[in-house]
Structures are given as structure tokens and as C-alpha cells.
Amino acid sequence: MIANDNNKNKPGSCFYRNPKKTILIFVVLSILLMVFSAEKYLDLINRDYSKIYPEDIRTQRCIRLREHIPLFNGAVRPDDLYMKGTDSLVQKDYLFRTDGDGFIMPSRKHEQPDINIFFLGGSTTECEDIEEKNRFPYLVGAILENKSGIKINSFNSGVSGNNSLHSINILYNKIVPMNPSIVIMMHNINDLNILLLTKSYWNVTRTKSPIQVIVENKTSLYYLLKTMKNYFVPNLYQKVMQFSSSRSIKDDEFSDFRRKKVDVDQDKIINEFKKNLQTFINICKSRDITPVLMTMANRLQDDRTKVIDEYFARMERDYEINRNEYKKLFDIFNQTIIELGRINSIIVIDLAKEIPPTKEFMYDVVHFNDSGSVLAAEYISKKLFPLLKIADSK
């Protein structure tokens, strides 16, 4: 019988050809894995704060930086409930992207710009439900660059719900290090509402308080698992939380203030607003930044439109403040902006005067639609153009 030696010509597995070497490599890799795992475990254990704080309660306090999540790339769509409060908004997906610093894109077009322009404000500056390249903070930069021939970066740091205190925080802790040439701030309605309801910028509302307090009543195991999550799967966890939160019902952080009559201290709230405007101006001037203020366009005087009537009906129902009183305060806030600009010899862009108060340009009380945003960009660019030479020479 002829022996079959075909197996000698087949490569076979590494284990059968070199069993000792394979076992040795496996043992070495296992030891390295165990050492690495032990090291990471000890690292996580050493991060436990139980030696510093009591086991049952750990409290963290931090200044809240109200900005968008950096590197967000997605779409936003106004829901059915939001649409009920509008009359010229198209319900569709709007592209919404942010850069690595949380500014709404397009933002950093040039690595070495001649001028950096920054816009501060709330949702009226954010322009979430507007086509990306029609948002006035971006469009202003594009128009000015085209007219002047110089390289301009225009940054949109507007965030829904932000008031002037949030913008001052963003200015000093985020924008100042970025070598800004011109900073434009537009605030009114968010400041008015927070001062009417809480009487102070330094309130304790869940998402708008300037100081965030995080109190956790957890065990050491919780902190170990939390640290492992942050170390091994931070990005996956963030995506899961975004997906979950987008489908959850938002808490009403102002529920404690509803159905109660607002006690209006006009002098106090105007004085608070004025101090924040002056603080913004002072920071800019001390840092060789050109400050610009803008009034807020609005449709408050429109007394023939269902959307506007319903807004005032909610204000009267929830806070017992009547239409005339609220509009008067809003107008005084705009006038305060103009007054502070005159006193400090800075440019004020009066959008409240220049933007027609109709649904052709705003889809509700204060928010621009695409047409309104484009019109605002054209007017803002016209007012900013004389500043380019001054800013470029600094």
C-alpha cells in the first residue's frame, strides 16, 4: 500500500505546524491583555471620588455654557405643535450643522481670515428653521466678502432660549480667544421673559440658570460604570442620548410660574437689561473688539392675525400680563438698545424699524422666515460695511 503523503504538501494551520510557538504567543498576548485590563481597572478605581466626598451624595457646580453640540450634522424639522404658532413657516427638514466649537455652519470658511465677525443671540439669531445659506449671520459675511474682496469668517453662536447673560459668557469664555474683529449682539424677548418671570438673570431654572448644579446620589459602582462609559463608548452614548431625547416630552421648566399674575417692576428689569448691554460693550472695548447692537424686529403691533392674537392670549392666560403692557416693555427694551448705543458711540442696527412687521418676513412674533432673514442680512451688511476698514486695521 502506498502511503498518502498529500498532507505534507498542504500548509495546514499555524498551530499544527508550530504548536509551541503558537501557545507561547497566545500566553504572552493573554498576559498583556490582563496587564492592560488591570491597569485600566486601577485607573478607573483611582478616579473614584469617594475618598473626597461622602459616599451617598456628590455635588458638582459649573458655569453653564449654552452652546450647540459641536460637530452636529443633521436636520431639524418643526413639529406639528410648533407649526400651530406660525403662519409663514414651511414644515420640512432644515439642514443644521455645527463646527468643532459649536458654531452653526457654514462658519470657518478661511483658515487665515482678514476679519472675524460673530453674532450673539437667541433663536432669532440662530435661525434654525431657515435654509442654511439664508441664515443672516452667514449671509452677512458672504455679502460683505463679495462687496469688499477681503476674507471674512462669520460665526453664528445663536442658541434658542439664550439671553444676554448667556451671550456675555459665550463672548468672554469662547469668542474672545478667537480673535474677533466685530461682535454683534441681538437680545430682547428672552431677556424680557426671564426677567418678568424670575426677576433675575441669576435664576434657578433647569436649563437657563447661569450656574448648573449637579447633585448625584449614587454608589461607587455607579461612578465606576459611568467612568467606563465615558472612557470606552462616549460617542456611542452621546448618539443614543440624542436619539432618545429627540423623542421624549420636554419638561416645562416654567410650570411653577404659570397661572400666576406677573408682578411687573418695570424700572428694575430695564435696569438689569441695561447693565448687561453695558457689560457687553465694555468687554468688547477692553479687548479691542468692535461692538454692535441690534434691535429685534417683531409683529407685536399686528392685531389682525390669529398667530399673534394667540401668543398674547397665552401670555394673558399664563401670566396675567395684558397685550399693551407686554408690547410697551418690548418696545422699551428696543429703545434701551438704541440709547446704550448712542451713549457709547457704537453702531446700532435697528431691525425693528427696517423689517416690515408682516408674515412675509416673520413666521410668528419675532422669528424670521427665509425672506426676512435675507432682508435682514442685506440691511445688516449695509450698516457693517463702513466698519470693515476699521476692523481690518486693528
Q: Using DSSP, how many helices (H) and how many strands (E) does the chain show?
A: 15, 9
CATH of 67-202+258-393, one of 3.40.50.1110, 3.40.250.10, 3.20.20.70, 3.20.20.140: 3.40.50.1110
Residue range 268-291, pLDDT digits in tens: 999 999 999 999 999 999 999 999
CA nearest 366: which of 266, 294, 275, 263?
Answer: 294
Let me know: does 209 contact 64? Beta carbons within 8 Å. yes
Is the model's pLDDT at 53 over the cut of 60? no
Cα end-to-end span (Å), the chain: 98
For the chain, the farthest-separated pair of C-alpha atoms sits apart, in whole angstroms, at 113
- Residue 1 pLDDT > 50, yes or no? no
Beta-bridge partners for 360: none
Q: CA nearest 135: which of 163, 104, 161?
A: 104
- The mean pLDDT of 30-55, rounded to a whole number, is 67
305 has pLDDT over 60: yes
Report residue 11 CA to chain centroid gap: 61
3-state class (DSSP) for residue 26: helix
Domain limits of the chain? 67-202+258-393
Report the chain's mean pLDDT, rounded to a whole number: 87
* pLDDT higher than 70, residue 251: no
Indicate yes or no: pTM above 0.85. no
| Residue 1 CA from chain centroid, whole number | 84
Cell matching residue 389: 476698514
List for the chain the helix, strand, coil content (%; round to 5).
Answer: 50, 10, 40
pLDDT for res 232: 66
Q: Which of 136-145, 177-186, 226-235, 290-299 has the lowest mean pLDDT?
A: 226-235
pLDDT of residue 24: 83
β-bridge partners, 185: 120, 293
pLDDT at 338 over 80: yes
Q: What is the per-residue pLDDT across 128-149, written as a single tens digit (0 to 9) for each?
A: 999 999 999 999 999 999 999 9
